[in-house]
Amino acid sequence: MENTAVDEFEVEIDQDAVRRARARVLRATALSAWVSLVGAGIIAALTAGLLTTAGPVFLLNAVPALLLGASGAHNLRRRRNLRATWSRQGIAPVAMRLSGAGLRLSIDAAPDSIFLPWSTVQGVRLVRRRGQQLLVLDLAPGVGPGSPGVTGLEHPDVQRVLNSKVLGVKGLRTAVRVLRQPVSAIDQALAARTGGRVRVR
């Protein structure tokens, strides 16, 4: 049974940890882009040299150069878009708020905009992928933007998170390393507000 009398529990975000994580992503994207572009340039130069000595059969070597060049350009655009988006949105101060009525969540593009009554939350999982820990929220079957009491699931970025995998995980998720509260405290807060039904597993 849901406990509506308990105080709100806030899971704050470590803003410095988010900044460091974002800086790592931007560096890795830039490195990948420049490796691709330099590789494309080297292959193109070799192809041009071979064309003058061995004939047009070496034009086939231009295909990898074009593919690498396109990949590098795409990564540079992605990096520019990410940096602009993160600069515009800032960092939400709170990842989630747990109250007796339900769970309020933030994602980068929609801070504090998702609200889920406890009846719509099936559970919370602690998932380990590639050295990272993620808290993943599982919705009850059939829960969507039109479900009673639910808000924010219709947001395009929320739909992307719900329907695409990151690190092999699909769904509403938060990296544990950016949270100020430990998983054990989040688990206790979930249990206190849902009569023990929703726990971190």
pLDDT above 90 (res 136): yes
CA 29 vs CA 25, 73, 190: distances in Å: 6, 11, 37
Per-residue pLDDT, averaged over 71-76, amounts to 96
pLDDT above 70 (res 1): no
pLDDT above 90 (res 54): no
pLDDT in tens, 11-43: 999 999 999 999 999 999 999 999 999 999 998
Q: Determine what percent of the chain is predicted with pLDDT higher than 70.
A: 94
Rounded CA-CA distance 138/63 in Å is 44
Q: Which residues contact 90 (CB under 8 A, 6 or more apart)?
A: none
For the chain, the C-alpha Rg in angstroms (whole number) is 23
pLDDT of amino acid 33: 96
Question: Torsions phi, psi of 70, nearest 5?
Answer: -65, -40
Q: Determine what percent of the chain is predicted with pLDDT higher than 90.
A: 67
Q: Provide DSSP, 143-169.
A: --TTSTT-BSTTSHHHHHHHHSEETTE
pLDDT of amino acid 61: 76
pLDDT above 70 (res 57): no
Per-residue pLDDT, averaged over 131-142, amounts to 93
Tell me yes or no: is domain 9-14+92-194 CATH 1.10.132.
no
pLDDT of amino acid 154: 93
Select from 106, 115, 126 the least CA-distant residue to 187: 126
45 CB-contact burial (10 Å; exposed 0-12 / middle 13-18 / buried 19+) = exposed
Give the confidence band of 85 by pLDDT, cuts at 50, 70, 90.
confident
Compute the half-sphere exposure of residue 61: CA atoms within 13 Å on the CB side of its CA.
18
Average pLDDT of the chain is: 90
Rounded CA-CA distance 175/127 in Å is 10
Rounded CA-CA distance 192/198 in Å is 9
Distance of CA 194 to the CA centre of its chain: 27
Per-residue pLDDT, averaged over 144-152, amounts to 94
